[in-house]
Amino acid sequence: MVRLFMRGRGERDGARDAGRTLAESVRRILALDDAASVSVSEIACGDPACGGAETVILVMRAGERTRAAKLLKPLASVTDDELATALVPLSAPEAKTA
């Protein structure tokens, strides 16, 4: 399941399409099964380094806590290489604590 939550700039069709494309790329890069959900959001960023918007990706797998990746740029400008790098921490199984 892919859920897109966009505010402000994300209401444009181009950003919506970019969000869908990004979510599909997340599923492919992480080899997610159909039971996993992906949420892609573009939110206002208060950090001047991110140019006013940041992209937040949530990955929800059954039996695990929700995990997040963040890119300090608008979702329409995220490249495949940047996405793959941001998802590296999410590709490893969640550490189990005793």
User: Looking at residue 78, what is its pLDDT?
Assistant: 93
Q: How far apart are CA 69 and CA 83, in angstroms?
A: 9
For the stretch 50-58, contacts whose Cβ atoms lie closer than 8 Å and that sit 24 or more positions apart, written own/partner, are 53/8, 53/9, 55/22, 57/22, 57/23, 57/26, 57/86, 57/87
68 near 58, Cβ under 8 Å? Answer: yes
Q: Between these two residues, 31 and 2, which has the higher pLDDT value?
A: 31
Residues 74-96, buried b or exposed e (16+ Cβ, 10 A)?
bbbebeeeebeebbeebeeeeee
User: Looking at residue 50, what is its pLDDT?
Assistant: 67
pTM for the full model? Answer: 0.77
Q: Between these two residues, 95 and 78, which has the higher pLDDT value?
A: 78
